[in-house]
Amino acid sequence: MPFHGLSARLQEIRERLDAARERGGHGQSVRIVAVTKTHGPEAVEAAVACGVDDVGENKVQEALGKMEAVTVPVRWHLIGHLQRNKAKAATRFAMVHGVDSPRLADALARAAGEAGCTLDVLVQVNVAEEASKSGVAMHEVPALADHLVALPSLRVRGAMTMAPYEAPEAELRRCFAGARAARATLQAAGHVHADELSMGMSGDYEVAVEEGATLVRLGTILFGARGE
């Protein structure tokens, strides 16, 4: 799946996004986060050339290498699990999607404070309670929301979730609706900037948008699997 076909794939995806947004009726705007993990800097530059300004990376070290190589302006998103000992590097990103514990939140807040910046973050919610995935359980969201209020160097922008792989549509909708409820909990706790919902990937992004997603994380559908 060469990058020269990226523009046509993006056009089709954007049309599908628009249709899904109309079906869902939430009235949100939707941005594509192009997930470039395992692909080189050329994938980032190809995405930007096609009008995608947001790029997602799972691993800090891989992302930092690409940041040095990419010459076009990009909003970098850290979408994978972050270890606390790499919190300082997280300040290089426009948004961190995976805040899943008070301890990680504290580490990020310290790093942002030392860097003299305010870091945009999303609370990752493990709605399906899959053991293989990171994220707080739904019943833990209120306590984490209250904890984050006391960390002014973090700006909570909303919630993020990952649905079970190849789940039936009813389970997808339950998972995405749970993230929407988590965002409402964040807003009720006083996080006035919590307007984002990062959910939906290559196999389920249309359902996610119907359920209110504002950020969809697309990799394989854009760039193909590694080696294609």
Q: What is the pLDDT of residue 122?
A: 98
Q: Domain limits of the chain?
A: 3-223
What three-state secondary structure class fits 170? Answer: helix
How far apart CA 134 and CA 142 sit, in angstroms, is 17
At 76-113, the pLDDT tens digits run 999 999 999 999 999 999 999 999 999 999 999 999 99
- CATH code at 3-223: 3.20.20.10
At 122-157, the pLDDT tens digits run 999 999 888 888 899 999 999 999 999 999 999 999
Q: What is the pLDDT of residue 226?
A: 60
1: confidence class by pLDDT, cuts 50, 70, 90: very low
Q: Is the pLDDT of residue 227 over 80?
A: no
% of the chain exceeding 70 in pLDDT? 98
Q: What is the pLDDT of residue 133?
A: 87
Q: What is the pLDDT of residue 168?
A: 96
Q: Give 167's contacts (C-beta < 8 A, 6+ positions apart).
A: 128, 175, 204
Contacts 24+ apart (CB under 8 A), 140-146: 141/182, 141/185, 141/186, 142/185, 142/189, 143/102, 144/99, 144/101, 144/102, 144/105, 145/185, 145/186, 145/188, 145/189, 145/191, 146/189
Q: Is the pLDDT of residue 2 over 60?
A: no
How far apart CA 114 and CA 50 sit, in angstroms, is 36
At 10-51, the pLDDT tens digits run 999 999 999 999 999 999 999 999 999 999 999 999 999 999
